[in-house]
Amino acid sequence: MEIGLNHYLVLSTILFSIGLVGVMRRKNLLMLFFATEILLNSVNIAFAAISHYYGDLTGQMFAFFVIAIAASEVAVGLGLLIVWHKRHGNIDLEYMSTMRG
């Protein structure tokens, strides 16, 4: 069986769902970052696959952009995370509720 576009898209969807559930369920900020990475990379897979399917490089270029942005986001995010940990001694989402209305 040849691996076609649909397989990639199904894989992307599965990864996206996993990421989404992770974003919703995880209470640890670090795990949240991981889940976000999974989400972004599932999209990257879809971009690359569709780009290959149409023979158009735009999608792959977008994937590169997303990777770059994700890297910087993680860099900033991790920095903040460390500061937070130094101050409060934990990185549990349940305690980050200063925005409570």
Partner 1 sequence: MELYLYLALFSPLVSSLFSALFTATPKKQFTGIVASGLIILAFVSSTILLTHILSGGDVVHVELMTWMATGDLYIPFGFVVDQVSVTMMMVVTLVSSVVHVYSIGYMDHDKGFNRFFSYLSAFVFSMMILVMSDNFAGLFIGWEGVGLCSWLLIGFWYHKESATWAANEAFIMNRIADLGMLIGLFLVYWNTGTLQYEQAFAAMPSLSTDILTWMGIFLFIGAMGKSAQFPLHTWLADAMEGPTPVSALIHAATMVTAGVYLVIRANPLYDLIPNVGLFIASLGAFVAFYAASMALVNRDMKRIIAYSTLSQLGYMFVAAGLGAYWVALFHLMAHAFFKALLFLGAGNVMHAMHDELDPFKMGGLKKPMKATFIMMTLASVALAGIFPFAGFFSKDLILEVSIIEHHYIIYSVLLFTAGLTAFYSFRLVALIFHGEERYKLFGIHPHEAYKFMLVAMSPLLILAIIAGSFKMTYFEMVTALLPATEYHVHSVAMYWIMTIGTQIFVILAIAFAYKKYAMSPVTVPDGTSKMENRLCYKILINQYYIPYIYQEYVVKPYRELSTIFWKEIDMKIVDASVDGIAKIFYSTGENTRTMQSGNLSTMLKWMVAGIVALLSLAVVFGLAVRYSDEIKVILSGLGVQ
Q: Which residues bind partner 1 (CB under 8 A)?
A: 20, 23-27, 32, 93-94, 96-101
For residue 51, the minimal CB distance to partner 1 (Å) is 23
For residue 97, the minimal CB distance to partner 1 (Å) is 4
Concatenate the DSSP letters of all residues of 5-61 into one string: HHHHHHHHHHHHHHHHHHHHH--BHHHHHHHHHHHHHHHHHHHHHHHHHHT-THHHH
For residue 35, the minimal CB distance to partner 1 (Å) is 10
Nearer to partner 1, 20 or 45 (CB): 20
Nearer to partner 1, 21 or 67 (CB): 21
Q: What's the CA gap between 80 and 74, in Å, rounded?
A: 10
Assigned token pair, 45: 């897979």
Q: What's the CA gap between 43 and 32, in Å, rounded?
A: 17
Nearer to partner 1, 60 or 91 (CB): 91
Nearer to partner 1, 1 or 99 (CB): 99
